[in-house]
């Protein structure tokens, strides 16, 4: 079953390679979507793929890469959009 979620992560999440590591993690799990920095200092990621892989990606976002300090991760589900790849915006 395909699932799609949007995650907005706050804390020290910009300037710590969050987007690069997120892209690597998502591709390893065969997820599609994107990750981007938001103007307010948060990072936003959209993951689409198998339920378990999406759940694992959300769990990863709650920790982030080494050097990050995640304070909160807001998660919302969305209808699948048929993304074809995972990319950094």
The answer to whether 87 is a known catalytic residue is no
Chain-centroid distance, C-alpha 47? 6
The answer to whether 19 is a known catalytic residue is yes
Of the residues 4, 19, 29, 42, which is catalytic? 19
Chain-centroid distance, C-alpha 28? 13
Task: Fill in the DSSP letter of residue 30.
Answer: T
Question: Token pair of 82, please?
Answer: 């048929």
* Residues 53, 31 contacting (CB under 8 angstroms): yes
Of the residues 6, 8, 12, 37, which is catalytic? 37
Residue positions annotated with a catalytic role: 19, 37
């Amino acid at each position: 079953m395909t699932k799609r979620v949007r995650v907005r992560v706050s804390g020290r999440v910009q300037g710590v390679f969050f987007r690069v590591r997120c892209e690597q993690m998502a591709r390893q799990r065969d997820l599609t979507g994107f990750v981007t920095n938001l103007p307010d200092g948060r990072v936003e990621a959209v993951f689409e793929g198998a339920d378990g892989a999406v759940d694992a990606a959300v769990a990863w976002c709650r920790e982030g890469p080494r050097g990050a300090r995640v304070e909160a991760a807001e998660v919302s589900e969305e209808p699948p959009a048929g993304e074809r790849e995972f990319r950094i915006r």
